[in-house]
Structure 1
Amino acid sequence: MVGSPKPVEQDAAPAEMRDPFVRRELSRAAIWLGLAATMAVAVLLVQPLLLIFAGLVFASLLDGGVRLLGRVLPIGRGWRLLIVVLLVMLFLIGTFYLTGVQVTQQVTQLRSTLEIQAARAAAWLSGQGLMPGASDVGGMVRQAMGSVGRLTSWVGTAIGALTSMFMIAVIGLFVAMEPRTYGRGIEWMVPTDKRPEFALVVDRMSKTLRRLLAGRLLGMVAEGVLTWFALMIGGVPMAMILGVLTGLLAFIPNIGAFVSGALMIAVGFSAGSDAGIWAIGTYLVVQTFDGYVLLPIVARKTVDLPPALTLGAQILASALFGIMGLALADPMTAMIKAALERSSERSEEDLGDDARAV
């Protein structure tokens, strides 16, 4: 219509959502708020998350057994998994049936022996003027042996420990049944264009975890059996339980070897100087064999984790997550290392593509 006024175009007000600047800033704020909320949820749910991760570690262990069995038995995956689970159950039941009574008696004896030895050491240090008076020795010994008492006694925490182990076993078994199904479920949470790279990273992490666990199991069996027979030959008391503890603690390198060595030497000297010296020699021989013969062979076939990196990760994980974090520090470190190595490879590939394009 002639003479009608033209509509006046107005820019969006700074407070309106259609302003590009406001949208961009809100997007940035949402990212930071989401990151903070994720960290808060992770802190609050750290124990369940650790249980889930432990279940994934157990699933990787079962998957490694299934793959190894597949090299000699050309049958379906379900049957191979059933055989692996049955073998694990038979091993555990047989071990507890044959050695359960003896191990229970030795655990009780081990605790009392360690308390006596700690009291003697504290009294000697007090007499040399290196510790407070004798009146404080008893309290310090009880405080120092509190963790050992919790470690060697399951009366107060049996229900919680069994429940956690049951949940870990169930999660691991379900994941081991259909690992690809759960892998695809996680991939669906990633943008479509990133899924191939994400699947490659997950595959690398899974292989790294299987190799790490294979090496750990080999080291645990070797250390436990060698310690058991060597202490039994030397006449050191409680050789069986010390061998079992050494094998179990071998899952945690560095710290586990130190703890098992301290227990071994304390029990050895409780039976006399000769047994104590034999225990020291056994510890040195086993650790030398493990460090200079077994581990280099395993490292070439499995995961090469520097000792300083491993120890640092264990210290941080134990401070943040407790004993379970300490036990799972190596698997977490190995998986993070595999992901970072793939990220470095991807960066080099992108640089190579850019150079060829130029």
Structure 2
Amino acid sequence: MANQEPLPEKEDISLFTKKVWITVGVITLLVIIIFILKAAFNVLLMVFAGALLAVYFHGLANLLERKIKIGHRWCLLVGVILTLLLIGALFWFLGAKISLQVGELTQDMPKILASVENRLGRTDIGRKLLHYLTDGSGDKMMGSFQEIFRTSFGVVGDIYIVLFIGIFFTVNPGLYREGIIKLIPSKGKERARNVLRRLDFTLKGWLKGMLIAMFFIAALSFIGLTIIGVPMSLALAFLAGLLNFIPNFGPLIAMLPAVLIGFTESANTALLIALLYIAIQAIESNIVTPMIQNVMIKIPPALIIISQVLFGTLTGALGIILATPLLIVVIVIVDELYVKQQKYS
């Protein structure tokens, strides 16, 4: 009579197959979550932009509260009204002219690019530079600059969403702050409150510095371009101040159309405009920013570029715009939850 032996091979194969299917399921779930997060990241960035807007309004309210000695809610209302009146006055007095000049700049850009291409094509160095920038195609350079302007001014929908999110956050910030704290375990709630307080303080200091720096850049750019005699100087100065919100890449993007317009006059004019922008940025980076952002944490410049490339790759223009405040949030959280704990452990 033959002995019946167990079949461990079949059991092992069944167990292996089960593990394989579990692994495939987990990987599939992770891939789906990653795609969902990537698709939703733009929404999260708009929520963060709304939070920044609320931080600005409450920072302005705190400033007014120290000056006029009335309740915070009244100061908040006054701050919102003053901001809306300031923006309205800006567009009332300058909006039509800026809009007209921006329209002219966008319309004239193909002619300006053609003129620059013609001037560069007269020299060997210019032809090599032109071929390097366009890969032999002038249409590529023209399309690139049109895309820059489309990105800079085609964000009405995002602004609308951010504005309403910012208003809701401004009206009742405690509701959302406590909602976040409720998700934290009991022993970590006090630490979470400290982190949120430090984030609020740091972002207020950063926003204050950025707004002053943007105004400084716009004013100096307008004065310098007017002295040089560059057409559409108001639109170019407005663009320079606005794009200064984006470190590293913003000033470069703002300088390009001004230099191109200078090329239509002469190479010397273009060089003078480039030197003007470089000088203004040098003053802003080395003198103005350190003075007005003394409450902001120190951020290594390389980290700003890395964060801009990372968030820009994930979400495009909105990620590049918000890369610096997002980096500030990450640095504060890491410092509060890891670095300080290492000191006391």
TM-score by length of 1: 0.80
Q: Percent identity?
A: 25
Of residues 151, 160, 173, the one that matches 1:166 is: 160
Indicate conservation of the 8 Å contact 1:261/1:283, yes or no.
yes
- Superposed CA deviations along residues 45-65 of structure 1, whole A, max 9, x for unmatched, are 122111111101111111111
Indicate conservation of the 8 Å contact 2:115/2:264, yes or no.
no
User: Cα 1:44–1:288, aligned 2, differ >3 Å: closer, same or farther?
Assistant: closer
**C-alpha distance in 2 between matches for 1:51 and 1:93:** 23
Match of 2:143, as an amino acid?
A: Q
Indicate conservation of the 8 Å contact 2:49/2:162, yes or no.
yes
Shift of 1:33: 9.3
Say whether residues 1:327 and 2:300 are aligned partners: no
1:198 corresponding residue in structure 2: 192
Query: SS state of the match for residue 71, structure 1?
Result: helix
1:144 corresponding residue in structure 2: 144
Match of 2:88, as an amino acid?
A: I
1:222 corresponding residue in structure 2: 216
User: Cα 1:126–1:52, aligned 2, differ >3 Å: closer, same or farther?
Assistant: same
Query: SS state of the match for residue 145, structure 1?
Result: helix
User: Cα 1:124–1:226, aligned 2, differ >3 Å: closer, same or farther?
Assistant: closer
1:249 corresponding residue in structure 2: 243
1:355 corresponding residue in structure 2: none
User: Cα 1:116–1:241, aligned 2, differ >3 Å: closer, same or farther?
Assistant: same
Q: How does 1:36-185 map to 2 (within 5 A)?
A: 39-123=34-118, 128=124, 130=128, 137-151=137-151, 157=154, 161-185=155-179
**C-alpha distance in 1 between matches for 2:223 and 2:264:** 19
Query: SS state of the match for residue 299, structure 2?
Result: coil
**C-alpha distance in 1 between matches for 2:296 and 2:344:** 28
Match of 1:88, as an amino acid?
A: T
Indicate conservation of the 8 Å contact 1:228/1:243, yes or no.
yes
Match of 1:340, as an amino acid?
A: V
More off after superposition, 187-196 vs 137-146: 137-146
Indicate conservation of the 8 Å contact 1:62/1:84, yes or no.
yes
Query: SS state of the match for residue 294, structure 2?
Result: helix
Match of 1:186, as an amino acid?
A: I
- Superposed CA deviations along residues 335-354 of structure 1, whole A, max 9, x for unmatched, are 10011111234423541xxx
1:212 corresponding residue in structure 2: 206
**C-alpha distance in 2 between matches for 1:47 and 1:88:** 26
- Superposed CA deviations along residues 148-181 of structure 1, whole A, max 9, x for unmatched, are 34146x5xx5xxx333212211211221222222
Match of 2:174, as an amino acid?
A: R
**C-alpha distance in 2 between matches for 1:236 and 1:125:** 20
Normalized per residue, the structure richer in helix is 2
Indicate conservation of the 8 Å contact 1:113/1:267, yes or no.
no
Indicate conservation of the 8 Å contact 2:240/2:251, yes or no.
yes
User: Cα 1:163–1:340, aligned 2, differ >3 Å: closer, same or farther?
Assistant: same
**C-alpha distance in 2 between matches for 1:69 and 1:32:** 53
Shift of 1:38: 5.2
Match of 1:137, as an amino acid?
A: S
More off after superposition, 276-285 vs 184-193: 276-285
Of residues 283, 287, 292, the one that matches 1:289 is: 283
**C-alpha distance in 2 between matches for 1:39 and 1:282:** 45
Indicate conservation of the 8 Å contact 1:265/1:279, yes or no.
yes
- Superposed CA deviations along residues 307-344 of structure 1, whole A, max 9, x for unmatched, are 11111111111111110111100010001001111123
More off after superposition, 295-304 vs 209-218: 295-304
Indicate conservation of the 8 Å contact 2:113/2:142, yes or no.
no
Query: SS state of the match for residue 247, structure 2?
Result: coil
Query: SS state of the match for residue 316, structure 2?
Result: helix
Query: SS state of the match for residue 303, structure 1?
Result: coil
- Superposed CA deviations along residues 106-147 of structure 1, whole A, max 9, x for unmatched, are 112222443333233434555635356x99534323333331
**C-alpha distance in 2 between matches for 1:44 and 1:261:** 32
Of residues 180, 195, 198, the one that matches 1:186 is: 180
What are structure 1's unaligned runs of at least 5 residues? 1-25, 352-358
Shift of 1:71: 1.0
Query: SS state of the match for residue 305, structure 1?
Result: coil
Indicate conservation of the 8 Å contact 1:66/1:84, yes or no.
yes
**C-alpha distance in 1 between matches for 2:137 and 2:31:** 46
Query: SS state of the match for residue 252, structure 2?
Result: helix
**C-alpha distance in 2 between matches for 1:201 and 1:298:** 23
**C-alpha distance in 1 between matches for 2:160 and 2:149:** 23
2:302 corresponding residue in structure 1: 308
Query: SS state of the match for residue 190, structure 1?
Result: coil
Shift of 1:283: 1.2
What are structure 2's unaligned runs of at least 5 residues? 1-21
Match of 2:243, as an amino acid?
A: L
Indicate conservation of the 8 Å contact 2:116/2:260, yes or no.
no
Match of 2:170, as an amino acid?
A: A
